[in-house]
Amino acid sequence: MNLKTKYSQFIKSEAKRLGFLSCGISKAEFLEEEAPRLEKWLNNNMHGEMQYMENHFDKRLDPTKLVDDSKSVISLLLNYFPSENQKDPDAPKISKYAYGTDYHFVIKDKLKELLQSIQEEIGEVHGRAFVDSAPVLDKAWAAKSGLGWIGKNSNLLTQQVGSFYFIAELIIDLDLAYDMPVTDHCGTCTACIDACPTQAIVEPYVVDGSKCISYFTIELKAEIPNSYSGQFDDWMFGCDVCQDVCPWNRFSKPHNEPLFNPKPELLTMSKKEWQEITQEVFSRVFQKSAVKRTKFSGLKRNIKFLED
Ligand code: SF4
Ligand code: SF4
């Protein structure tokens, strides 16, 4: 076995030990196939008010411009599929990824540990960790590394566990053995396109971010346009519809990360309790949660929008 293969195998087994679902590795190089796609998406204003998407165009497509001397992109998946959902079927809904502790913290710690193990085993290796950070096209890297394919709903999908997981990367200055992409298994299915409450999947594989409920409920700072009134299918933070209907998510299995478990109240609060939520309850239920991103006022706005 050559050294690159040996190191890659070591990194993958360490990733498993740290609780990642899977790990795939690609050569750090310009993402040629993604460049025209990203350009078209931005030119069509599908990023709405997410101005940060326009920044660092070159860096986003080329990890060697992002991390000095980078040689490899290590992509990692971490499962967040919960064992339980919100109890009241009429309660405003929260995307499953935001049930527990903010994933940025949980994953950053794991990535740091992975880099440390690599340094202890292999020697002087430098790198940077990325978790859902704007400069890295994480789905494209994960697909290039054979962890899944990008489905018509624009999520990364796997035949084994569907799509309810976070994607993170470690970009390092060490040459490794690289993985091959897998084939697309969406076939003739259009379940996600048909089910999207706001018709945000404008064509297969293209999500207009500026029409997506996740964008309206999390990213948009201004008022939600009235033209979308009654279309949010009770989502108050994010939206899981295009994942919930995806047949590959039949194979999702509950995560085993205690930090991703929600505060019990999050699951038991009724529609009325959500409508009457106070700052105090918000701070308690969403302590350390990614939902804090909207702040209390943002979540109130979203809940009120569902009532109008
Ligand atoms: S997250 Fe919801 S609104 Fe956005 S594309 Fe998927 S189904 Fe549509
Ligand atoms: S719902 Fe169907 S078309 Fe959409 S991502 Fe899943 S398999 Fe692909």
The closest-lying atom of ligand 1 relative to the alpha carbon of residue 192 is 7
How buried is residue 40: exposed, middle or buried, by Cβ count under 10 Å (0-12/13-18/19+)? exposed
Q: Which residues contact 51 (CB under 8 A, 6 or more apart)?
A: none
Return the pLDDT at 36: 81
Who wins on pLDDT, 86 or 45?
A: 86
Q: Which residues of 130-143 are buried (b: 16+ CB within 10 A; e: fewer)?
A: bbeeebbbbbbbbb
Return the pLDDT at 134: 65
Give the type of residue at 114.
L
Per the annotation, the verdict on 173 as an active-site residue is no
Residue 52 clears pLDDT 90, i.e. is over it: no
Sign of CA dihedral 211, 215, 217, 223: negative
pLDDT, one tens digit per residue, over 241-279 is 999 999 999 999 999 999 999 999 999 999 999 999 999
Pick the ligand that lies closest to the CA of residue 186.
Answer: 2
pLDDT, one tens digit per residue, over 140-186 is 999 999 999 999 999 999 999 999 999 999 999 999 999 999 999 99
Measure 187 CA to ligand 2 centroid, in angstroms: 8
Give the type of residue at 250.
R
Who wins on pLDDT, 46 or 305?
A: 305
Measure 238 CA to ligand 1 centroid, in angstroms: 8
Return the pLDDT at 308: 72
- Model confidence at 56, pLDDT cuts 50, 70, 90, reads confident
The closest-lying atom of ligand 2 relative to the alpha carbon of residue 190 is 3
- Model confidence at 47, pLDDT cuts 50, 70, 90, reads confident
User: For a pLDDT cut of 70, what percent of the chain falls above it?
Assistant: 99
Q: What is the pTM of this model?
A: 0.94
Token pair listed for 265: 């109240």
Please report which residue ranges of the chain form alpha helices under DSSP H. 3-17, 34-43, 57-61, 103-122, 138-144, 191-195, 213-214, 241-244, 264-268, 271-275, 279-285, 295-307
Measure 256 CA to ligand 1 centroid, in angstroms: 26
Active-site residue, from 62, 88, 132, 179: 132
- Atom 5, ligand 2: which residue's CA is nearest? 151
| 192-209 mean pLDDT | 96
Pick the ligand that lies closest to the CA of residue 156.
Answer: 2
Measure 13 CA to ligand 1 centroid, in angstroms: 34
The closest-lying atom of ligand 2 relative to the alpha carbon of residue 249 is 6
